[in-house]
């Protein structure tokens, strides 16, 4: 028990210290009220316990704690008086005897904003003004608070703080201009520290780019009164870029000028870029970016991408530009050389937009074609001499056309053409012509087997070849044949082969007699003899040169003036027969235009025995 006696005085001293009272007051440091409403400032105070007041009074002063300064009296309980601006508006609502100094001020106005001090009057000198005081704020709008950053797509809370310190009037808080807010909801709560109170209304929603710049209102109303107060906040909603507009895919032609727009909406402003095939063409920190192509070429054809980015995201959109252009000059095989029988593949390719119609042509004939292709192949499984020639590759689309040519050269063994034959003239000259088509040039020989006779280029009887393209004609002339050879062979050879061809005979004399018949021949002969006699008589003075010129009018180039008169007659007769033949030929003539006439008469024909008939034959050599 001894410890109690020791510990008790210490305990007592402690109690004394805690319980020992002194001058002190408690009230909110700051308190707010809306204009025209009221405010109750809670207040309590204490005083030293050795004071035993018979009555407790108090005074509230405005803005100054010192009565010597004569501050406005808000309320004085002893006399129930107040400064005129407080008259009838204020009352002490606490029980001063209970140390409750709470005061209520009605119909507050802005001039009442300020510091409020309480002075306790416990009688005699026991008067004390507490330094603790309340700051009264008079509001005319609620305080709306938004977070530092509002990001599109992230839920946000906006609060409206409403002072709620008037016991007689309770505020009603609502939100205005909330149309277009997604998923919005409102929560309300009261927050306070037992001295001052706030009504807090929270508006929750999911912001989007559409809400950027939107003004939200918080409205405070007091039921039963006309009073209402509004506070506003304008939202700054951050959002990732959106490509609002971009050109749709476009078609154009080469040489034009085009511009593409990329219109971007974002907050903050984005970096906007134009790409083509991953290559950055242009960029800028702007809302819109225009890509200009001054002179469009085929290289501009492709997909374009507009991308935009800011710290909140990145987006892109693509568009296509189709550049239409005429096909390019086709690329073809460089000129080809092939040997007969080989397979030849001909390639033609080009580029155009749209893809062109391609065709490979030879001699105005289409050999192969392809529609809407860039490449065409012509395969010739076994090339022959007929495939030799110039080929064209044509490419065409609606924007134009172009072509390329190349030559296919075919090496082939000799071919003896059907027009090769032997001709017997009136005076039993024999002239054999062998026309050979070959590449490379053939070696031509004539053979007369029954005479064991071979004529090559080395012999005098052999007339040097005349040529046209791959066509070579060689002529064998046999003079004054007593007996016609039965068989004349033409042999032609080159690297790739040899052909031996039996030449057929064409006897012009026999032909002529067959046509006019024996009787006719006799008649003509008689006429001619008579005519010849007449001519001799009438023209005996004429010079030799004159007669030769006469003959020359009949296109016979080489008759000698020394010939006998009969010879002249004969030649005249021949000219006539020739005319008959010519006119007959004209009737039977095939379409000449496809042929190239070889006019051998223009060449240096050295054979002086060549008859007009034979000359006509030369003119007949037609070459395909």
Binding pattern to ligand NAG, positions 77-116, x when CB under 6 A?
----------------xx-----x-x--------------
Instruction: Please give the structure tokens belonging to residue 250.
Output: 């476009």
Binding pattern to ligand NAG, positions 316-335, x when CB under 6 A?
x----------------x-x
- Contact call for residue 275 and ligand NAG (CB under 6 A): yes
Instruction: Please give the structure tokens belonging to residue 620.
Output: 């007949």
Stretch that binds ligand NAG, among 62-70, 145-153, 400-408, 541-549 (CB under 6 A): 400-408
Q: Which of 23, 143, 232, 260 binds ligand NAG (CB under 6 A)?
A: 260
Residue 407 or 555: the one with the smaller Cβ distance to ligand NAG is 407
| 8 Å CB contact between 120 and 138 | no
Stretch that binds ligand NAG, among 199-207, 217-225, 340-348, 496-504 (CB under 6 A): 340-348
- Contact call for residue 390 and ligand NAG (CB under 6 A): yes
- Contact call for residue 374 and ligand NAG (CB under 6 A): no
Residue 292 or 562: the one with the smaller Cβ distance to ligand NAG is 292
Residue 375 or 620: the one with the smaller Cβ distance to ligand NAG is 375
Q: Which residues, other chains included, contact 510 with Cβ-Cβ below 8 Å and sequence gap of 6+?
A: 424
Q: Identify whether 491 is preceded by a cis peptide bond (ω within 30 of 0).
A: no
Q: Which of 63, 286, 288, 405 binds ligand NAG (CB under 6 A)?
A: 405
- Contact call for residue 249 and ligand NAG (CB under 6 A): no
Residue 100 or 127: the one with the smaller Cβ distance to ligand NAG is 100
- Contact call for residue 397 and ligand NAG (CB under 6 A): no
Query: Angle of helix 565-588 relative to helix 508-538, nearest 10 degrees?
Result: 130
Q: Which of 312, 406, 496, 609 binds ligand NAG (CB under 6 A)?
A: 406
- Contact call for residue 468 and ligand NAG (CB under 6 A): no
- Contact call for residue 257 and ligand NAG (CB under 6 A): no
Bridge partners, residue 293, by sequence: 258
Instruction: Please give the structure tokens belonging to residue 151.
Output: 């990001």
d(CA 386, CA 388): 5
User: What backbone torsions phi and psi does residue 69 show, to the nearest 5 degrees?
Assistant: -80, 0
- Contact call for residue 258 and ligand NAG (CB under 6 A): yes
- Picking from 576, 524, 531, the residue whose alpha carbon sits closest to that of residue 551 is 576
CB of 329 to ligand NAG, least distance (A): 12
CB of 291 to ligand NAG, least distance (A): 9
**How many of the other CB atoms lie within 10 Å of CB of 182?**
12
Instruction: Please give the structure tokens belonging to residue 277.
Output: 């095939």
d(CA 503, CA 448): 10
Q: Identify whether 440 is preceded by a cis peptide bond (ω within 30 of 0).
A: yes
User: What 3-state DSSP class applies to 280?
Assistant: strand
Radius of gyration of the chain (CA): 64
| 8 Å CB contact between 304 and 320 | yes
**Site size toward ligand NAG, by CB under 6 A:** 26
Residues lying near ligand NAG in the complex (CB under 6 A) are found at 44, 93-94, 100, 102, 247, 250, 258-261, 275, 305, 307, 316, 333, 335-336, 344-345, 347, 390, 405-407, 452
């Amino acid at each position: 028990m001894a410890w109690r006696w020791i510990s008790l005085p210490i305990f007592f001293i402690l109690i004394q210290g805690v319980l020992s009272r002194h001058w002190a007051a408690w009230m909110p440091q700051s308190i707010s009220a809306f204009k025209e409403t009221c405010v109750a400032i809670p207040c309590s105070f204490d005083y030293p316990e050795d004071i035993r007041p018979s009555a407790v009074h108090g005074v509230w002063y405005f803005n100054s704690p010192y009565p010597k300064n004569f501050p406005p009296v808000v309320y004085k309980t002893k006399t129930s008086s107040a400064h005129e601006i407080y008259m009838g508006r204020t009352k002490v609502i606490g029980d001063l005897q209970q140390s409750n100094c709470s005061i209520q001020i009605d119909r507050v106005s802005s001039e009442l904003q300020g510091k409020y001090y309480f002075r306790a009057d416990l009688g005699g000198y026991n008067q004390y003004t507490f330094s603790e005081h309340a700051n009264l704020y008079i509001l005319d709008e609620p305080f709306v608070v938004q977070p530092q950053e509002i990001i599109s797509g992230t839920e946000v809370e906006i609060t409206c703080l409403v002072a709620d310190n008037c016991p007689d009037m309770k505020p009603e808080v609502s939100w205005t201009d909330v149309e277009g807010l997604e998923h919005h909801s409102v929560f309300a709560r009261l927050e306070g520290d037992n001295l001052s109170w706030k009504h807090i209304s929270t508006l929750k929603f999911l912001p989007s780019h559409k809400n950027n710049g939107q003004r939200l209102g918080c409205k405070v109303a007091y039921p039963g009164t006309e009073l209402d107060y509004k506070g506003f906040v304008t939202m700054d909603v951050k959002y990732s870029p959106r490509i609002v507009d971009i050109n749709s895919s476009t078609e154009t032609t080469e040489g034009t000028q085009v511009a593409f727009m990329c219109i971007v909406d974002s907050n903050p402003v984005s970096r906007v870029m134009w790409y083509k095939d991953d290559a950055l063409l242009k960029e800028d920190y702007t809302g819109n970016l225009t890509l200009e192509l001054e002179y469009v070429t085929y290289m501009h054809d492709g997909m374009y991408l507009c991308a935009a980015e800011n710290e909140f995201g990145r987006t892109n959109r693509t568009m296509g530009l189709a550049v239409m252009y005429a096909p390019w000059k086709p690329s073809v095989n460089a000129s080809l050389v092939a040997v007969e029988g080989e397979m030849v593949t001909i390639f033609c390719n080009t580029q155009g937009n749209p893809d062109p119609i391609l065709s490979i042509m030879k001699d105005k004939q289409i050999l192969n074609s392809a529609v809407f292709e860039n490449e065409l192949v012509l395969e010739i499984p076994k090339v022959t001499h007929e495939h030799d020639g110039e080929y064209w590759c044509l490419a065409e689309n609606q924007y134009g056309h172009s072509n390329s040519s190349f030559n296919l050269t075919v090496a082939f063994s000799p071919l003896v053409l059907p027009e090769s034959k032997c001709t017997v003239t009136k005076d039993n000259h024999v002239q054999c012509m062998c026309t050979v088509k070959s590449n490379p040039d053939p070696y031509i020989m004539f053979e007369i087997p029954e005479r064991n006779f071979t004529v090559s280029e080395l012999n005098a009887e052999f007339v040097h070849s005349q040529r046209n393209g791959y066509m070579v004609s060689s002529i064998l002339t046999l003079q004054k044949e007593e007996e016609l050879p039965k068989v004349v062979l033409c042999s032609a050879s080159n690297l790739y082969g040899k052909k031996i061809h039996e030449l057929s005979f064409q006897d012009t004399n026999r032909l002529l007699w067959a046509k006019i018949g024996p009787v006719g021949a006799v008649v003509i002969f008689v006429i001619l003899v008579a005519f010849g006699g007449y001519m001799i008589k009438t023209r005996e003075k004429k010079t030799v040169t004159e007669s030769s010129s006469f003959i020359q009018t009949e296109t016979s180039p080489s008759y000698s003036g020394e010939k006998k008169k009969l010879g002249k007659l004969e030649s005249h007769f021949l000219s006539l027969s020739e005319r008959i033949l010519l006119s007959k030929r004209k009737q039977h003539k095939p379409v000449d235009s496809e042929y190239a006439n070889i006019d051998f008469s223009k060449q240096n024909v050295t054979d002086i025995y060549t008859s007009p008939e034979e000359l006509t034959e030369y003119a007949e050599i037609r070459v395909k």
